[in-house]
Amino acid sequence: MKNEYTPIGELGKKVGEKVNLRGWIYRTRSSKDMTFLVLRDSTGTVQCIVKEGAKGFDDAQKALRESSLMLSGTVHEDPRAPTGIEIRVNDLEIVGWAETFPLKEGTNPEVLLDKRHLSIRSRKISTTLKIRSTILGAIHEFFRERGFYEVQSPSITKMACEGGSTLFKLDYFGEEAYLTQSWQLHAEAGIHALEKLYCIAPAFRAEKSRTRMHLAEYWTAEAELAWCTHEESLKLQEDMISHVVQTVLKKHSKELQELGADIKKLEKVKGPFKRVPYREVLEILKKDGIRMKWGDDLTGLQEKALSKHFQKPFFITNWPKEAKAFYMLENPKDKRTVLCADLEAPDGFGELIGGSARETDNKRLMANMKLHKIDPKPYEWYLDIRKFGSVPHAGFGLGIERLTMWICNLDHIRDAIEFPRTINRVYP
Ligand code: 4AD
Ligand code: MG
């Protein structure tokens, strides 16, 4: 067989021609003198007909679903075929014989997760992974076009960026260390050299809760900017989300439809997004008969109820100091609050982004650490930054799986990543 292979997605341009294909059997059905198989590659599926007399016919009859193969044949238009195209096969060779595939429609979700190394071949997961790849590409494009430098940050640290309750402890050559919750604190050092930074990396949270929104290892796109105000940071977040959503729509409208995403609603995702002070959130929820007191974080149910009031993503701004991390800048207009915002997705898909302006005053940082009961020792270097030409700055972190989950309309965050890590799953 020749070395040139046509991706299945490009067969529409090759009607009447001879082609070589390679892929996996998606479905197969045989009669005495004919085998119908649907071949799958990463670009699509196509129906192939192998008649008695074709080279490899006997193997085609025996091969089970997910066997890999190479074939050559001619491309025919056929309105009865699901994609309007059919391959009449002359020559077929099995590359990897498959045993009986253990997964089928209706398989228990836990089994699908135990066999994740196989279930990623499913249409739903592979389509989601393609969209996720486009999302990451669009984020890189967004930052690079705006003159940001991409940096990489350590995954092993001595610090609890987002508080001690979700830290993964690590034995670092006899010393206690942690898997990082966020690159942010190191990024705050970097802006004094590069001014505008971004980083796309894994973050780790020992989340004890089993929710459809939490992973123990997730990916985050974080940005940090020197000379940046809180409002400028919000504008940048708006532009980034709009750019990503519009890029995905342009490239994947067919796939989004397949996943059941609301395309009309996604088309409207363009800035500005509403800014709702935390104080107003309490009032909105109260009117809905939902109690939440000053200082509380939103539960999933509260997020869902609140999001019913908004068609597009919306910011919750000016949170109470005690509800947020020690590094956030005090709000000069209301000292009980900090200049921060969470960007919430519509339809109860939860928090997409957390961000804030940063405190640059070491006295106030020390006081905040005391408030949050943080030992200042591992943070000495962080405080040191402020002693050498500190500047106003701000930044934010986006959860890649949350964004993917919302855009693709997924029921559970685990389907937004290839191999999910949750409280009860670190295999495969
Ligand atoms: O709101 P978070 O905790 O903010 C930070 O980590 C800041 N240091 C970011 C910054 O300012 N540079 O996390 C950021 C985002 C959340 O908005 C959410 O989308 C996602 O990360 N996230 C999670 N995603 C999946 N599973 C989890 N357990 C997550 N925890 C946070
Ligand atoms: Mg947050």
Which pLDDT band, with edges at 50, 70 and 90, does 41 fall under?
very high
116-128: pLDDT as tens digits: 999 999 999 999 9
pLDDT of residue 198: 98
- In the predicted structure, residue 156 carries a pLDDT above the cut 90: yes
181-224: pLDDT as tens digits: 999 999 999 999 999 999 999 999 998 888 999 999 999 999 99
The more confidently predicted of residues 184 and 165 is 184
- In the predicted structure, residue 416 carries a pLDDT above the cut 80: yes
Best residue among 353, 412, 414 to mutate for probing ligand 1, ranked by most atoms within 8 Å of CB:
353
Q: What number does the ligand 1 atom closest to the CA of 355 have? A: 11
Do β-strands 314-317 and 275-277 pair in parallel, antiparallel, or remain unpaired?
parallel
Tokens of 78: 């056929």
Distance CA 164, CA 219 (A): 19
Q: How far is the CA of 71 from the centre of ligand 1 (A)?
A: 47
88-111: pLDDT as tens digits: 999 999 999 999 999 999 999 999
Tally of CA atoms within 13 A in the half-sphere of 4 that contains its CB: 3
Tokens of 299: 């539960």
pLDDT of residue 291: 94
pLDDT of residue 1: 52
Q: Which residue puts its alpha carbon closest to atom 9 of ligand 1?
A: 397
Best residue among 237, 351, 359, 405 to mutate for probing ligand 1, ranked by most atoms within 8 Å of CB:
351
Q: Measured between alpha carbons, how far is residue 274 from residues 204, 216, 307, 316, 333 in Å?
A: 30, 30, 12, 9, 20
pLDDT of residue 209: 81
- In the predicted structure, residue 180 carries a pLDDT above the cut 80: yes
253-289: pLDDT as tens digits: 999 999 999 999 999 999 999 999 999 999 999 999 9
Distance CA 243, CA 141 (A): 9
pLDDT of residue 319: 98
pLDDT of residue 97: 98
Starting from the CA of residue 344, give the closest ligand.
Answer: 1
Q: Measured between alpha carbons, how far is residue 279 from residues 34, 77, 184 in Å?
A: 69, 62, 27
Q: How far is the CA of 427 from the centre of ligand 2 (A)?
A: 27
Mean pLDDT of 407-414: 97
Q: How far is the CA of 349 from the centre of ligand 1 (A)?
A: 14
pLDDT of residue 189: 98
333-388: pLDDT as tens digits: 999 999 999 999 999 999 999 999 999 999 999 999 999 999 999 999 999 999 99
Question: What mean pLDDT is reported for the chain?
Answer: 96
- In the predicted structure, residue 83 carries a pLDDT above the cut 60: yes
Under a CB-based contact definition with an 8 Å cutoff, are residues 92 and 50 in contact? yes
Which pLDDT band, with edges at 50, 70 and 90, does 30 fall under?
very high
Q: How far is the CA of 242 from the centre of ligand 2 (A)?
A: 20
Q: Which residue puts its alpha carbon closest to atom 7 of ligand 1?
A: 397
Q: How far is the CA of 403 from the centre of ligand 2 (A)?
A: 14
Domain positions in the chain: 8-96, 114-416
Give first-to-last CA distance, the chain, whole Å: 36
Angle 369-370-373 from CA coordinates, rounded to 5°: 85
Tell me how many helices (H) and strands (E) the chain has: 12, 16
Q: Measured between alpha carbons, how far is residue 375 from residues 26, 159, 183, 380 in Å?
A: 56, 10, 19, 10
Q: Which residue puts its alpha carbon closest to atom 1 of ligand 1?
A: 354
Distance CA 152, CA 197 (A): 10
Which pLDDT band, with edges at 50, 70 and 90, does 2 fall under?
low
Starting from the CA of residue 214, give the closest ligand.
Answer: 1
Distance CA 333, CA 349 (A): 31
Distance CA 215, CA 199 (A): 19
Tally of CA atoms within 13 A in the half-sphere of 46 that contains its CB: 33
Q: 86-117 burial by CB neighbour count: b if 16+ within 10 A, else e?
A: bbebbebebeeeeeeeebeeeeeeeebbeebe
pLDDT of residue 354: 98
Q: What number does the ligand 1 atom closest to the CA of 207 have? A: 28
Ligand 1: lining residues by beta carbon, under 6 Å = 161-162, 181-182, 184, 205, 207, 214-215, 218, 220, 222, 351-355, 395-397, 399, 401-402
Q: Does domain 114-416 have CATH number 3.30.930.10?
A: yes
pLDDT of residue 207: 87
Which residues, in sequence order, are CB contacts of 245 under 8 Å at separation 6+? Answer: 266, 269, 407
Pick the CATH number of 8-96 from 1.25.40.340, 1.10.3720.10, 3.40.630.30, 2.40.50.140: 2.40.50.140
Q: How far is the CA of 216 from the centre of ligand 1 (A)?
A: 11
Tokens of 213: 């929104």
Tally of CA atoms within 13 A in the half-sphere of 232 that contains its CB: 13
Distance CA 135, CA 243 (A): 9
Question: Going along 111-216, which residue ranges are E strands?
Answer: 149-150, 156-157, 168-172, 175-179, 196-204
Distance CA 50, CA 94 (A): 13
Residue 422's DSSP bridge partners are 425
User: Can you tell me whether residue 58 is helix, strand or coil?
Assistant: helix
Distance CA 411, CA 133 (A): 19
Q: Which residue puts its alpha carbon closest to atom 6 of ligand 1?
A: 182
Q: How far is the CA of 353 from the centre of ligand 2 (A)?
A: 7
Could you please report the per-residue DSSP string of 97-113? -----S--TT--HHHHH
Q: How far is the CA of 125 from the centre of ligand 1 (A)?
A: 23
